[in-house]
Structure 1
Amino acid sequence: MALSSKKIRVMIVDDSMLARRMLQTGLSKYPNIQVVGEAINAMDARRKIPLLHPDVITMDVEMPGMNGIEFVKSILPEYPIPIILVSSLNLRVFDALAVGAVDFVRKPDGKVMNNDHFIQNLANKIVVASCARVRKPMARSAVASAVAAASNVAPLHMSGLPTETIIALGASTGGTEATLEVLKRLPANTPGMVIVQHMPPGFTKMYAERLDRNCPMHIKEAENGDVIQPGCALIAPGDKQMRVVRTGTRYTVSCQPGPKVSGHCPSVDALFQSMAQSVQCHMVGIIMTGMGSDGAKGLLEMRKRGAFTIGQDKESCVVYGMPMVAYNIGAVEQQASCESIAGVVVRHLSSLRR
């Protein structure tokens, strides 16, 4: 990733003095990052933002007084600054992402936060966040309209399809909510889906359960050997590479620890490449918001094998990186907003019956 010569101004918000010191010390090692100030809680942060002018804010989700979720909701309409959550294994991180936080990083186990991998991961996310498009919280009326639109999607008539279909989707920064926008609009009898969202272990299971509660399809964290079948979406575990395997007429997933592919585990490229190599029925590939190029080459391989491919458009991406690279190399057949992708998929699958 090319780094700008301009330093990224970061404000640390955490009620723990130890945590603030460790973050300050760790981030100070990165020449492209400047910690311009700290805050002990959300109210302290609100007072300091106009004075410090941070480019990115790191914030603990759980703090006394106003928690991270309420802070994100209150601050973004006035100060649209990218916010990275620093969180333990906590379901509330998804609530904060839903109201506009850009990304999150998992705290290392234990009370000491001088974990080198953790700091490096946070520094990388700060660089990505500095380029992100901040989503302001949706008004209640807009949320209600989106839910109503999702509930009105006509079901697919699967009996008329000439072939079996598998849908693969990959996303990174901004993808937790963008993927939800797609899945909540797809009907319950959608062909089987396999999904990679760059996310730490532990969180992928909670994310799958959250999606399952809010979408018509059944959604679960994938386990090795799970069968890909209509009406079910499988989310790659956070520390394993997920690939599609053909066994006779059935398709299953292999979920195994392994080296990073295109810089990630799980990797979108690993999933998409396995689709291109193994799937002999009809394929749909979807690449969504995220920094870098993971998934672009794999999507191109899928398209060369006859897959229908979709890329999220620039306007609806938090980070127009992965879909941009895929589009530039010719991997994307059609671009669409995250709110429109489900409709594109439904229309495409319906056209197969003609």
Structure 2
Amino acid sequence: MPHSVYVIDDSAVVRQTLMHLIGGDPELVLAGSAPNPLIAAPALRKLKPDVLLLDIEMPGMDGLTFLRQQMAERPIPTVICSTLSTEGSAVALDALAAGAVAIVAKPRLGLKQFLEDSRRELLQTLKAAARARPRSAAAAAPSAARAAAAAPRAPVLHALSVNKPVVLGSSTGGTQAIEAVLTALPADSPGIAIVQHMPERFTALYAQRLNGLCAVEVREARDGDRLERGRVLIAPGGRHMQLHKAGGQYRVAVIDGPPVNRHKPSVDVLFRSAAECAGRDALAILLTGMGDDGARGMKLLHDGGARTIAQDEASCVVFGMPKEAIKLGAADEVVPLDRVAAEILRFDARG
């Protein structure tokens, strides 16, 4: 049975284009559309769509305010449409914190052509969202006690993480999952390199937000950054990130190149590089996300003696990437999200 999609966007061009795209996919059906949340609300209560595609910047009631209300009343898996601006990126991240499962970044100009060009990615995102387990804002956010324990951050004297790097990948639902893991880690945790599927301009703001919540230092990776204890590096949107070792030090390379598994950054690019330079000394983790990015890279790490962990189905928003890794026999252990931080510390304590 096709997944039903409801579109809320104040642009008639966007609504018409999406109606055409969704109508052309046998796995999706357009439940309806509206130019703003005030008009949409009664229809949503009646139609109960499987997924909501929601614009952020609209007259009457903005998308973020509506999303928070909707998640409190009846959570619907929601994909956010946000403009590629600093302001739009910040609000879109607020929407992820409020329970949205994915972001579609759109330009201010050339919207119709952009939607046509991004057809495959957009439709796959909607299908994944329709299968997602929506989280309310309360469920998506870390507990107040956990956040309070993580801040303020005490100064950390970084020691080079020369033996035991941690590499982590995630996609749909991953922004909240990563936050849950990192806010549970102490300031002297092992260095972690992360690929989260996210558009350009979003990753820097996302890293800044995490940095304010966590005891570890979190920042968007720059080419040549060292992976050190107490530091988390997040791959920039629109760039791949690799791990290298030289002179006893692990560093990241931020590089251009074609998408891998339709993603840029790609988890497989990071994992394959870790398999080459770290081998059995690494810990690889795959969290929630659609598709199979990272599964084959994790298999390489597993076969090379690295420790490998996949998030379990019950705690995933979308059980795609971890499922594919498990099917390949790439995961040593399958654990719920609330155990991942403890597994990182257990790995670090092995000496």
Q: Would you say same fold, with TM above 0.5?
A: yes
**CA RMSD in angstroms, aligned pairs only:** 2.7
Call closer, same or farther: CA 1:80–1:223 in 2, change over 3 Å.
same
Separation in 2 of the partners of 1:70 and 1:294?
33
Q: Which consecutive unaligned segments of at least 5 residues does structure 1 have? A: 1-5
Alpha-carbon distance, 1:34 to partner: 1.8
Q: Choose which of 57, 66, 69 in structure 1 pairs with 2:64.
A: 69
Separation in 1 of the partners of 2:335 and 2:139?
23
**Are 1:196 and 1:236, in contact at CA under 8 Å, matched by a contact in 2?**
yes
**TM-score normalised according to structure 1 size:** 0.89
Call closer, same or farther: CA 1:139–1:290 in 2, change over 3 Å.
closer
Alpha-carbon distance, 1:281 to partner: 7.3
The percent of aligned pairs where both chains have the same amino acid is 38
Residue 199 of structure 2 corresponds to 200
Alpha-carbon distance, 1:139 to partner: 7.0
Residue 133 of structure 2 corresponds to 133
**TM-score normalised according to structure 2 size:** 0.90
**Are 2:165 and 2:190, in contact at CA under 8 Å, matched by a contact in 1?**
yes
Residue 261 of structure 1 corresponds to 260
Q: Choose which of 19, 30, 48 in structure 2 pairs with 1:53.
A: 48
Residue 122 of structure 1 corresponds to 122
Partner AA of 1:13 in structure 2: I
1:188 equivalenced with 2:187 (yes/no): yes
Call closer, same or farther: CA 1:344–1:259 in 2, change over 3 Å.
same
Say which SS state the counterpart of residue 200 (structure 1) adopts: coil
Q: Deviations over 1:210-265 (max 9, x none)?
A: 11121111111112222222221111111122111122212211211112223322
Q: Choose which of 38, 46, 49 in structure 2 pairs with 1:43.
A: 38
Separation in 2 of the partners of 1:309 and 1:320?
17
Say which SS state the counterpart of residue 91 (structure 1) adopts: helix
Residue 169 of structure 2 corresponds to 170
Call closer, same or farther: CA 1:21–1:202 in 2, change over 3 Å.
same
Q: Which consecutive unaligned segments of at least 5 residues does structure 2 have? A: none
Runs of 4+ residues deviating >4 angstroms: 139-142, 148-152, 156-159
Call closer, same or farther: CA 1:253–1:348 in 2, change over 3 Å.
closer
Pick the structure with more helix per residue: 2
Q: Deviations over 1:111-156 (max 9, x none)?
A: 533322233322111111111111122179983244356569xxx9
Alpha-carbon distance, 1:59 to partner: 0.5
Partner AA of 1:64 in structure 2: P
Alignment of 1:99-110 (within 5 A): 99-110=98-109
Partner AA of 2:61 in structure 1: M
Call closer, same or farther: CA 1:10–1:290 in 2, change over 3 Å.
same
Partner AA of 2:31 in structure 1: V
**Are 1:163 and 1:282, in contact at CA under 8 Å, matched by a contact in 2?**
no
Call closer, same or farther: CA 1:151–1:214 in 2, change over 3 Å.
closer
Call closer, same or farther: CA 1:293–1:100 in 2, change over 3 Å.
same
Residue 325 of structure 1 corresponds to 324
Separation in 2 of the partners of 1:133 and 1:78?
15
Q: Choose which of 3, 6, 13 in structure 2 pairs with 1:8.
A: 3
Q: Deviations over 1:54-108 (max 9, x none)?
A: 1111001122333222222211243332111000132111111112111110013
Residue 90 of structure 2 corresponds to 91
